[in-house]
Amino acid sequence: MYQYDQHDQKLVDQRSQEFRQQVSRRLSGLISEDEFKPLRLMNGLYLQLHAYMLRVAIPYGVLSSAQMRKLAYIADRYDRGYGHFTTRQNIQFNWPALVDTPDILDELASIQMHAIQTSGNCIRNITTDPFAGVAADEEVDPRPLAELLRQWSTLHPEFRYLPRKFKFAITGSANDRAAIKVHDIGLRLKSGADGKVLVDIWLGGGQGRTPKIAQLFRENVSITELLPYLEATMRVYNRYGRRDNKYKARIKILLAEVGLAELQAEVEEVFSKIDKSRFEPVEAELSRLDSRFIKPLYHEIPEDENPEPDEPANLAVSLTGTSDLNAPVAHEYNRWLERNVKQHKQHGYAIVVVSLKRIEGIPGDASADEMREFASIADDYSHSELRVTHRQNVVLPHVKQTDLASVWQRLSDANLATSNIDLPSDIIACPGMDYCALATARSIPVAQEIAAHIRAKEKVTSVGDLSVNISGCINACAHHHVANIGILGLDRGGVENYQITLGGRSDENARIGERMGRGLLASEIAPAVDRIIDVYLDKRQLTETFSDTYQRIGKAAFKDSIYGDDHAIQTA
Amino acid sequence: MQYRLLSSGGEVRLVDDEWVNAAITIALQTELETGDNYALEKLVSSEQVLLIEFQSVADGRGFSSAAELRENDGYKGLLYACGRLNPDQLTLAFQCGFDGMVVDEQGWVSYGEAAWQQALKPVVDSGYAQTRWNAIDSIWMLRGAAVR
Ligand code: SF4
């Protein structure tokens, strides 16, 4: 993990001190809410439906156990005992009092965290692969560069008042788990022929009203040219991105209006004139960062030794006294190994994903007690490190395979062993009408209903990876456009109405889902999702994923399953 | 009308319409094809003062225009920000290459002298990637210096 030095610390301390003055000016009435608004937004403080909401950055999704404990403390002391993990590797607190927010920022600063640039029209928290540095399929560890970009973008004087917010995502693996193609800029790190890192820049992806898949903007950029090139790109966007209409202000619209070739040419021109010497300290800084992301001291396990995770049967024996592989406990454990445990770079180790999509739970919510339990399990079994994912789950990145049974036991005792990672019930849902001031419909209760509906099916069929995402309005915070099954909650004359899109995906072959017909009522959604999954199970060939089947057979069969006879009549 | 000219040294000077009119105000264009209205060859050598106007507090184009003028076009003369800006943006203006800000009576009064004075001595000083126009070294420069 990255450790702050005195400069990093001073910066967050000063920021927090500055915000304290601003809050006190607001509380004493010296400034109006209108004048306060841009100031609080710079510090991640939103005004929601019922209260203020504070959004805290978890840079590139990495947390120490100490940081997780502090988040638990903040949840208890200043909120209602909960925190909500978002799709952008942030955590939100939904009930802080304005007067407490400077204290919360101080608490955060004390553990090297902050809420800087988690809102407003600036460069937001940089997100990356939640398995960065540990994934077996990784080419380049994206974390040092992610930290470099965090520093570069933090309080960058030129880019604090952009036409609109700006999101970066980075991956260093061919299997994109960071959804880089639906970000304003996505960076794909590759290892070049001479061992030097090269970067492909994808530009203009995004969701919201006008979903777009990013285009390859510049290939094979060297690390030394990357920052000046990004600075040139941001400079062009800041100058020419539209400011007359906030729905047309993202860089994806500039790209669409100006065209790829012309935008590239303009950026090249600015880039050619940028004084690269200004970025000279960057190389030294990157190697400093590289050295600060030290590999945890893994227990070296000889390659010829194969430390299998503890057998389900053994676990059944130790817990129930029976060696029956069909004992419920062995069965549960087995399912968890299958769904929640991923392959690690280091021989003898595994990555454990903890699902925050429990039965009847709120997707992405964790209580303070659960956060403390995460911290404690991480201390005992994962080198005190945790990650949060854009699918709103938590990761224990360095677990010894021989410890898997113990970890499962601990999680299971805390009701945290739901084994549904990447299954349909691992739903991404935004806060929707329950918390969000912009919402046009509820998303949490609908997600809960779908999950309740399809859990049984997940258990008896081998449905496999299938993403279901629900957004409570057109802003698409839950990334419904790029879900296999996407659901968008709208308002039609005071009644919630849900639109379904199918066939989307957010990986390296990202696609925008296709819209089906008319919207459905809240009560119709769960059964419809169930029928859509049935069509897939019925039509898929061999190992086809949902997207594969959808591409092959097309929209019709799925659409029929949603609308049934009703649809047949309409289209007859 | 009178204006306050706030400069990086912390100085506040009164200037009038005549001063403002004598300066060249750059109108920022919104279309990429048209570019801005200045003929640089003339400006780079001119003795005149340049102003970049900000149309609203949220419109940060001028920050990039200043950086572009300084860095890409090599403009060495005096450059001030004017228009709708707030005290918190003064530091950014310095960091992007402005010599200061021209504040009209309305802006001066609505934020209050105290806020402007405080903005001239900002709490947040060093950032990571500050440009060279800021008198203060960036954090990356400081770290580099510590290594050497
Ligand atoms: S998608 Fe809409 S309702 Fe959901 S969190 Fe985003 S803005 Fe709020």
The per-residue DSSP string of chain B comes to: -EEEEEETTS-EEEEEHHHHHHSEEEPPPS-TTT--S--HHHHHH--SPEEEEESSTT-THHHHHHHIIIIIS---S-EEEEES--TTHHHHHHHTT-SEEEEEHHHHHHH-HHHHHHHTS-S----SS--TTSSSPPHHHHHHHHH-
Which of A290, A292, A289, A267 is CA-nearest to residue A151?
Answer: A289
Q: Which atom of ligand 1 is nearest to the CA of A473?
A: 2
Question: Ligand 1 mean position to A489 CA, how many Å?
Answer: 9
* Residue A147 CA, distance from chain mean position: 17
Contact across the interface for B65 and A258, Cβ inside 8 Å: no
CA of A43 to the centre of ligand 1 (A): 19
Q: How far apart are CA A272 and CA A503, in angstroms?
A: 41
> Residue A158: closest CA among chain B residues belongs to which residue?
B63
Residues A400 and A435 in one domain: no
DSSP character for A360? T
* Residue A446 CA: distances (Å) to CA of A361, A430, A498, A521, B107: 12, 11, 10, 10, 49
| Sheet with B24-26, edge to edge strand ranges | B12-16, B2-7, B100-104, B79-83, B50-54, B24-26
Between the CA of A442 and the centroid of ligand 1 the distance, in Å, is 10
Q: Of the candidates B59, B126, B129, which has its C-beta nearest A156's C-beta?
A: B129
First to last CA, chain A: 61
A357 close to A426: Cβ distance less than 8 angstroms: yes
pLDDT at A567: 47
- C-alpha A142/C-alpha A200 separation (Å) is 13
Q: How far is CA B144 from its chain centroid?
A: 27
* Atom from ligand 1 closest to the CA of residue A437: 8
Instruction: Give me the sign of the Cα torsion angle A422, A426, A431, A433.
Output: positive
If asked whether residues A468 and A535 sit together in one domain, one would say: yes
Taking CA–CA distances from B145, the nearest residue in chain A reads: A281
The residue whose CA is least distant from atom 6 of ligand 1 is: A477
* Three-state SS at A250: coil
Burial of A91 (0-12, 13-18, 19+ CB in 10 A): buried
Distance to chain B for A147, nearest Cα, Å = 12
Q: Are residues A454 and A334 in the same domain?
A: no
Tell me, what's the pLDDT at B131? 62
Q: Which of B46, B63, B67, B45 is nearest to B54 (CA)?
A: B63
CA A14 to chain centre: 28
Nearest residue of chain A to residue B56 (CA atoms): A161
> Which amino acid type is present at position A490?
L
| Contacting residues of A for B133, CB less than 8 Å apart | none
pLDDT exceeds cutoff 90 at B47: no
Q: Are residues A400 and A443 in the same domain?
A: no
Residues A502 and A464 in one domain: yes
Number of structural domains found in chain A: 3
Interface test with A, best of B140, B142, B143, B147 (most A CBs within 10 A): B140
Nearest-by-Cβ selection for B128 from A151, A160, A263: A151
Q: Which amino acid, residue B28?
A: L
Q: How far is the CA of A85 from the centre of ligand 1 (A)?
A: 14
| CA A471 to ligand 1 center in whole angstroms | 6
pLDDT digits (tens, 9 = 90+) for B83-129: 989 888 998 898 899 999 999 999 999 888 988 998 888 655 677 87
- A207 located within any domain: yes
Q: Are A152 and B92 within 8 A, CB to CB?
A: no
Mutate to test the interface with A, among B123, B131, B148 (most CBs of A within 10 A): B123
**Identity at A10, one-letter amino acid code:** K
Q: Which of A246, A436, A442 to mutate to test the pocket of ligand 1 (most atoms within 8 A of CB)?
A: A436
More confident residue, B47 or B15: B15
Cβ-nearest to B72 among A8, A244, A270: A270
State whether B127 and A274 contact (CB < 8 Å).
Answer: no
In chain B the first and final C-alpha atoms are separated, in Å, by 52
> What residues of B are in the A interface, CB distance below 8 Å?
28, 30-32, 57-61, 63-65, 67-68, 71-73, 86, 88-89, 91-92, 95-96, 123-132, 134, 138-144, 147
Q: How far is the CA of A159 from the centre of ligand 1 (A)?
A: 25
For A402, half-sphere exposure in the C-beta direction (CA atoms, 13 angstrom radius) is: 8
Domain that holds residue A498: 428-569
Q: Are residues A514 and A456 in the same domain?
A: yes
Between chains, do B32 and A262 touch, taking CB under 8 Å as contact?
A: yes
- CATH number for the domain spanning A329: value is 3.30.70
Together in a domain, A276 and A325: no
* Ligand 1: nearest atom to the Cα of A478: 1
Nearest to A219 by CA among A192, A238, A195, A194: A192
Is residue A445 within 8 A of residue A417, CB to CB? The reply is: no
Residue in chain A closest to B111 (alpha carbons) equals A31
| A431 Cβ closer than 6 Å to some ligand 1 atom | yes
Position A558 in a domain? yes
Considering only CB atoms, B123 lies closest to which of A18, A152, A284, namely A18
Residues of chain A scoring pLDDT < 50: 567-572
- B30 pLDDT exceeds 80? no
**Cβ contacts of A264 within 8 Å, gap of 6 or more:** A217, A218
| β-strands A215-222, A197-203 pairing | antiparallel
CA distance A438 to A425: 25
**Assembly ipTM:** 0.92
The distance of A442 to chain B (nearest Cα, Å) reads: 31
- Closest partner residue to A160 among B32, B92, B128, by Cβ? B92
> Which atom of ligand 1 sits closest to the CA of residue A440?
3
Assess whether A409 and A341 both reside in one domain. Answer: yes
Does A362 lie in the same domain as A268? no
Q: What is the largest CA-CA distance in chain B?
A: 52
Name chain A contacts of B130, Cβ cutoff 8 Å: 157
Distance from CA of B40 to the nearest CA of A (A): 15
* Verdict on whether the full-model pTM lies above 0.80: yes
Pairing outcome for strands A127-128 and A168-171: parallel
Q: Rounded CA gap, B78 and B96, in Å? A: 13
Asked if the Cβ–Cβ distance from A239 to B123 is below 8 Å, we say no
> Per the CB < 8 Å rule, is B126 touching A7?
yes
- Residues whose CB falls within 8 Å of the CB of residue A132, separated by 6 or more in sequence, listed in order: A60, A61, A62, A138, A141, A142, A143, A146, A172, A387
Question: Are A270 and A398 in the same domain?
Answer: no
| Same domain membership, residue A437 and residue A390 | no
SS3 of residue A303 by DSSP: coil
Cα separation, A436 vs A429, whole angstroms: 12
Q: Interior CA angle at A423 toward A420 and A429, to 5°?
A: 90
Residue A30 Cα distances to A21, A45, A96, A454, B16, angstroms: 11, 19, 22, 54, 29
User: What is the DSSP code string of A136-160?
Assistant: TTBSS--HHHHHHHHHHHTT-GGGS
